[in-house]
Structure 1
Amino acid sequence: MTPFAGRRGLMLVLSSPSGAGKTSLARALLASSTDLELSVSATTRPSRPGEADGRDYHFVPEATFDAMVREGAFLEWARVFDHRYGTPRAPVDRALAEGRDMLFDIDWQGTQQLKEQARDDVVSVFILPPSLAELRRRLEARAEDRPEVIESRMARAAGEIGHWAEYDYVLVNDDFDRCLGRIRTILAAERMRRVRQPGIFAFVRALLP
């Protein structure tokens, strides 16, 4: 623990093409971190087996989503395939002010919007697959999607990967545990940045004659 109190929370963003592992990495990171919370997105898509409203997503009808957009209730939102996803603003603002860190599993469009809203609070990490062949193998191994959906995801992957240079950090998920360890290192370092520890200024002033 530092001798000076107070720290503003951060937004840790994980993005990747579908199948590259960001959701699995996010779950593992949350399971091993007591001081990190998942930002639960709102979505217009129906829930999948095993998903719970309020835990995995806030499942809302199109009309509710439209109203939230009009009211400025989202930090970011985007259409992904046939559905819309958005990050509710209020719980994130509250968490950061209280010094709590939030984890985001969102795409490049959402990341751009977050940076436009609060660049100094965002730490962005892009996860690359080791190859497109391995990406396809992982999508097929999940056995969640029809063949035409897999083809759509593969077609979309190139466009998503093209945004890699917009991120603060870029990792290749060729070894799950190693990639997870590197994300933990990034998070630990970013928490110690001077701008996220406002209490340090008063501490330093007290040290000076």
Structure 2
Amino acid sequence: MPRTKYKGKVFILSGPSGSGKTTLYQKAREKFPHLRESISVTTRPKRPGEVHGRDYFFVSPKMFQYKIRAGHFLEYEQFFGNYYGTPRKYVQDILTAGDSVLLCIDVKGARTVRREFPAAVTIFIKTPTLEDLKRRLISRGSEDLQTIENRLKRVEMELREAERYDHVIVNGHLAKAQQALNRIIAEALADPD
């Protein structure tokens, strides 16, 4: 669908698990009231404190497969046995209403979304070093060491994709990374194109 049909803008935020993208994403949404989130659909189990409809829409694998066949997703991906997808109509409704949307999705999903929204502003978040990333994943305490190792194996592919993004932010210090993200978003929102 052509970008001109919509009033809002699409922002894509990607980066390895543990890079801080979710924290940056949440803080950006607080700062920019017309920057809406797209709540992803997933088959993975809820983590402590997560709420259905706020953090994700949690569905069964069977329901997710139905949604794939019905064309409900703008993009979807499978990670470590769980599916994640961006609901197409949810995003279209936000853009049609004149708000902009911030998608927090992986690099493959970003490529897919950019085909439909070529003017999307893409932002890649990374840590200063792989050791920093590993430390963050371990300190999160939500995954076992095997899952963390699997996530780290994926990082090399994700980092290669970073060069295709409009912006790359190194998140070594949260406040500085947030300032950089806020500046990118503010400049893009101020641009009428």
**Does 1:187 pair with 2:165?**
no
Shift of 1:104: 1.1
Superposition map of 1:167-186 within 5 A: 167-186=165-184
TM-score by length of 2: 0.93
* Structure 1 gap segments, 5+ residues each: 1-6, 196-209
Shift of 1:84: 0.7
Q: 2 CA distance for matches of 1:76 and 1:49?
A: 26
- Structure 2 counterpart of 1:132: 130
Shift of 1:192: 2.3
- Residues 102-134 of structure 1 deviation map (CA, whole Å, 9 limit, x = unaligned): 1111100110110111212x1110011101111
TM-score by length of 1: 0.86
Q: 2 CA distance for matches of 1:29 and 1:127?
A: 13
Q: 1 CA distance for matches of 2:162 and 2:95?
A: 26
Same amino acid, percent of matched pairs: 36
Q: 2 CA distance for matches of 1:38 and 1:32?
A: 13
Are the structure 2 counterparts of residues 194 and 36 from structure 1 closer, same or farther at C-alpha, using a change threshold of 3 Å? closer
Aligned residues: 188
Partners of 2:75 and 2:112 within 8 A in 1: yes
Report the secondary structure of 2:53's partner residue: coil
* Structure 2 gap segments, 5+ residues each: 1-5
Read off the aligned partner of 1:76 and give its amino acid letter.
Answer: E
- Structure 2 counterpart of 1:56: 55
Q: 2 CA distance for matches of 1:114 and 1:159?
A: 18
- Residues 154-174 of structure 1 deviation map (CA, whole Å, 9 limit, x = unaligned): 111111111111111111111
- Structure 1 counterpart of 2:30: 31
The two structures, once aligned, show a CA RMSD in angstroms of: 1.3
In our comparison, the structure showing a higher alpha carbon Rg is 1
Q: 1 CA distance for matches of 2:33 and 2:192?
A: 23
Read off the aligned partner of 2:112 and give its amino acid letter.
Answer: Q
Shift of 1:147: 1.2
- Residues 35-55 of structure 1 deviation map (CA, whole Å, 9 limit, x = unaligned): 221110011111111111110
Q: 1 CA distance for matches of 2:143 and 2:109?
A: 23
Q: 1 CA distance for matches of 2:24 and 2:74?
A: 23
Q: Structure 1 stretches (4+) deviating beyond 4 angstroms?
A: none
**Does 1:113 pair with 2:123?**
no
- Structure 2 counterpart of 1:78: 77
Q: 1 CA distance for matches of 2:97 and 2:91?
A: 10
Report the secondary structure of 1:155's partner residue: helix
